[in-house]
Amino acid sequence: YREPLRTERSDLKLLNDPNFVSSMVYSDYVLFFFREAAVEYMNCGKVIYSRVARVCKKDKGGPHQFGDRWTSFLKSRLNCSIPGEYPFYFDEIQSTSEVVSGTYGSTRAELVYGVFTTPVNSIGGSAICAFSMSALMGTFEGEFKEQATMNANWLRVPPSKVPEPRPGQCVNDSRTLPDVSVYFIKSHSLMDRAVPPFFSMPLLVRLSSQYRFSAIAVDP
């Protein structure tokens, strides 16, 4: 048994009306796939984005008042879109597969497949996108995104502003993390770069006003 951990209560920057669709263990981490109202778009309106979040399996919570909260929670956007000058996005994730290993062309890769749809009040559309696990995990090693003030745009965080040890990395005992790292990740859980589709576009697209894809299973 271990004490449960959670994100900060009622903090929209961490989770904003999320709908979780799956979770999995990968290496030293637990990954969560979900969709939520995009906080980085709130100044322009309301839109749903698909996300993947990551926490360390050995996260024990933080020091002091952060003892019951994740110290490693980070999230990235999942980009499932038809490319072009103005990409067409399938923004609402519905399901994911397990991680599937294979050779694609001359590239050996681990992929996770996802079902994505358009919003219910738009043109009915479904798509299947695949994401490389190396690219997915790589976004969490990239730059963070922040909103400096309430009405400011969300912009990338300069590397010089990121404390050490780097927030989101797994450590032996997260309860010994310095306060500056814990406070940083509390307000900077969103990564700047989205996870791109492995094949640069959806593997399958279907437009229909009568049905939408809702689940996926992959036979390796």
Report the C-alpha gap between 73 and 167 in whole angstroms. 9
pLDDT digits (tens, 9 = 90+) for 36-75: 999 999 888 899 999 999 999 999 999 988 999 999 999 9
Q: What is the pLDDT of residue 135?
A: 98
Of 1-5, 6-10, 86-90, 168-172, least confident by mean pLDDT is: 1-5
Q: What is the pLDDT of residue 42?
A: 82
Report the C-alpha gap between 126 and 88 in whole angstroms. 12
Q: What is the pLDDT of residue 186?
A: 92
Report the C-alpha gap between 7 and 214 in whole angstroms. 28
pLDDT digits (tens, 9 = 90+) for 76-133: 999 999 999 999 999 999 999 999 999 998 889 999 999 999 999 999 999 999 999 9
- Whose tokens are 């969300």? That residue is 154
The dihedral built from the CA positions of residue 92, 33, 82 and 89, taken in this order, carries a sign that is positive
User: Which residues pair with residue 55 across a beta bridge?
Assistant: 30
Q: What is the pLDDT of residue 44?
A: 83
pLDDT at 1 over 80: no
Q: What is the pLDDT of residue 55?
A: 98
> Mean pLDDT for the chain?
94
pLDDT at 2 over 90: no
Domains and CATH numbers, the chain: 19-207 (2.130.10.10)
Report the C-alpha gap between 1 and 68 in whole angstroms. 14
Most confident of 29-33, 158-162, 208-212: 29-33
In 3-state terms, what secondary structure has residue 94? Answer: strand
pLDDT at 25 over 80: yes
For the residues 151-174, what does the mean pLDDT come to?
93
pLDDT at 189 over 90: yes
Report the C-alpha gap between 9 and 190 in whole angstroms. 17
